[in-house]
Structure 1
Amino acid sequence: MSDSRDTQPEGGGLHAPLARLLRPLVRLLVARGITFPALTDLLRELYVNVAEYDYVLPGKEQTDSRVSLLTGIHRKEVRRLRGAGAPVSAVPATVSRTGRIVARWLADPAFTDEAGQPLPLPRNAEPGQPSFENLVSGVTRDVRPRAVLDEWLDRGLAFADGQDRIVLAEAAYLPRADGDAEAQLYYFGRNLHDHIATAAENILGPSPRFLERAVHYDGLSEELAVKLEARARDLAMEALTQANREAHAACRTDPGGSHRWNFGLYVYREEVGQAAGTAGPPDVG
């Protein structure tokens, strides 16, 4: 007879990668004071919500018993939690506005130079001429350009040069923890959701639907790891800038609809203790 300890439950192969995936998240939760019971409550709600809406049998009404069977949560708890709806991650108004203005500044030929770099902009100019006021008013008229400029200068997203032109700062590309907590948390949820959803869809589907690849080397010196990180940042920004430019141009003739698209990149390095081996051929996966 086989020992029950030698058998894995269905999906047991996910345990090890799931533990690795969740470790940095748990580190963040502990740092921010989110306790295990609080996370358990959230997971219970999500399990019920996913089972209720994503696993409905065709032509049949979803029942408490089936949701309980799928999730392992008692029917009494299922009954209490059903119908709550999935948590909605609404885009904060300031995040949406800032993102659209930056995207236009980086992509619209009227506000970029011949190399595709964002132009330094005078504060005001005649209609049809590039200026910060015309940049903002072309995206939104709900907020005065002067109010946007004051906010950006305060947050370090832009600065005035020696000719009193407004220059887009590097900080505008990445929300900072000290001044953009709302934006940073929004993108944390959205971007990680899309990355995990991509990988999950590729596992669940009969064949990979989405591109999800990485190039990684182990056993590197710190000097080389830092150098590769810096180069990867440059390559990533080139790709993101080009993708933004093409998407911005394509949107002008698009009739609009209910779909969304996200193109993301990440760069990561860490010290993992004594190297298990020397640097070798790239592992692309």
Structure 2
Amino acid sequence: MTFVPPRSAPEAAALQGPLARLLRPLVRLCIRSGTTFPALAQLLRELYVNVAEHDFGLPGKEQTDSRVSLLTGIHRKEVSRLRGAGAPVATVPASVSRTSSIVSRWLADPAFSAPDGKPLPLARLAGDAEPSFEALVASVTRDVRPRAVLDEWLDSGLVSLDGEGRVVLAEAAFVPRGDDERKLYYFGRNLHDHVAAAVSNVLAAEPPFLERAVHYDGLSPELARKLEQRARVLALEALQTANREAHAGCLTDPGGSARWNFGVYVYGEATGPDAGGPR
């Protein structure tokens, strides 16, 4: 039995260059984090078996060790040992889910944001004439006390208190920093979705997903910085608009199993023989 790839799939040799460019920053991250090549190779071996088992089955036929071995190039005995782990499950850490939900509502709900989409400063407690942080948290979850969320966010720098004692959303709420578990969660989620969209577009005759970029080479460092700063403003405006519209749509949506992600990225680096890499 020979596996025939989809007609639009590129040849394996043609993928070598793009894959090397795609994987280079990930290899840099692995080396800096202490993830050795044998550890990464073992992870890839497990993923090869898992994807072949769950994504390349034949309709009406049981997936066999021999076929998985044929698809992956991994020895059949090794395939037998690695199979049966189940498809990977994307688990969202509770704190990440809670944080993103509260921040999203703060930015989208007219009760907690200004007409231009900027988050309003919030009184700590409900009952005052102005909107409150207590009411915001209670509108998202009843499983944790608003005071506990406030203390956690003050400690992590997601919010601060202004001169009137109101709770103010900080920039850190938009850009996770340091060892924040949100940083690693969204690293995996956003890169997965971006790569998944790009792969779908490569394999399909008609690209099903929007995946575009504006790029210029040979720029002066001054112009590159100026364009980067302007792109950040445009990107944030687009994200805030999409968040408000999604929030409004969810108010009347019956719910279901679908998932949607809208993301943007801005990147720049020095090029040439004396390049220092990404900034």
TM value normalised by structure 1 = 0.90
Residue 234 of structure 2 corresponds to 235
Distance 1:15 1:225 in 2: 30
Structure 1 segment 124-273 matched on structure 2, within 5 A: 124-126=125-127, 130-178=131-179, 180=180, 182-273=181-272
Structure 1 segment 8-157 matched on structure 2, within 5 A: 10-126=11-127, 130-157=131-158
CA deviation profile, 1:220-252 (whole Å, cap 9, x unmatched): 111111111111000000000000000000001
Distance 1:142 1:125 in 2: 17
1:114 deviates by 2.6
Q: Unaligned 5+ residue runs, structure 2?
A: 1-9, 275-279
| AA aligned opposite 1:42 | L
CA deviation profile, 1:28-64 (whole Å, cap 9, x unmatched): 0000011111111111110011111111111111111
Mean CA deviation greater in 84-93 or 169-178: 84-93
| AA aligned opposite 2:226 | K
1:85 deviates by 1.6
CA deviation profile, 1:141-174 (whole Å, cap 9, x unmatched): 1111011011111111111111111111111001
RMSD over aligned CA atoms reads 1.5
Distance 2:172 2:24 in 1: 28
Does the residue aligned with 1:264 lie in a helix, a strand or coil? coil
Does the residue aligned with 2:270 lie in a helix, a strand or coil? coil
**Structure 1 segments of 4+ aligned residues over 4 angstroms from their partners:** none
Identify if the C-alpha distance between structure 1 residues 128 and 206 changes in structure 2 by more than 3 Å, giving closer, same or farther.
Answer: farther
Does the residue aligned with 1:109 lie in a helix, a strand or coil? coil
Q: Unaligned 5+ residue runs, structure 1?
A: 1-8, 276-285
Mean CA deviation greater in 64-73 or 79-88: 79-88
Distance 1:116 1:184 in 2: 24
| AA aligned opposite 1:243 | A
| AA aligned opposite 1:92 | P
Distance 1:142 1:106 in 2: 21
| AA aligned opposite 1:244 | N
Distance 1:207 1:229 in 2: 31
| AA aligned opposite 2:148 | A
Distance 1:248 1:132 in 2: 18
Question: Is the 2:50–2:85 Cα contact (8 Å) retained in structure 1?
Answer: yes
Question: Is the 1:46–1:86 Cα contact (8 Å) retained in structure 2?
Answer: no
Question: Is the 1:47–1:71 Cα contact (8 Å) retained in structure 2?
Answer: yes
Distance 1:133 1:171 in 2: 20
| AA aligned opposite 2:21 | R
| AA aligned opposite 1:104 | R
Distance 2:230 2:11 in 1: 42
Distance 1:255 1:127 in 2: 33
Distance 2:171 2:183 in 1: 15
Does the residue aligned with 1:138 lie in a helix, a strand or coil? helix
Distance 2:227 2:154 in 1: 32
Distance 2:271 2:69 in 1: 41
Identify if the C-alpha distance between structure 1 residues 127 and 160 changes in structure 2 by more than 3 Å, giving closer, same or farther.
Answer: closer
| AA aligned opposite 2:133 | F
| AA aligned opposite 2:213 | A
Does the residue aligned with 1:159 lie in a helix, a strand or coil? strand
1:274 deviates by 5.6
Identical amino acids, percent of aligned pairs: 72
Question: Is the 2:123–2:130 Cα contact (8 Å) retained in structure 1?
Answer: no
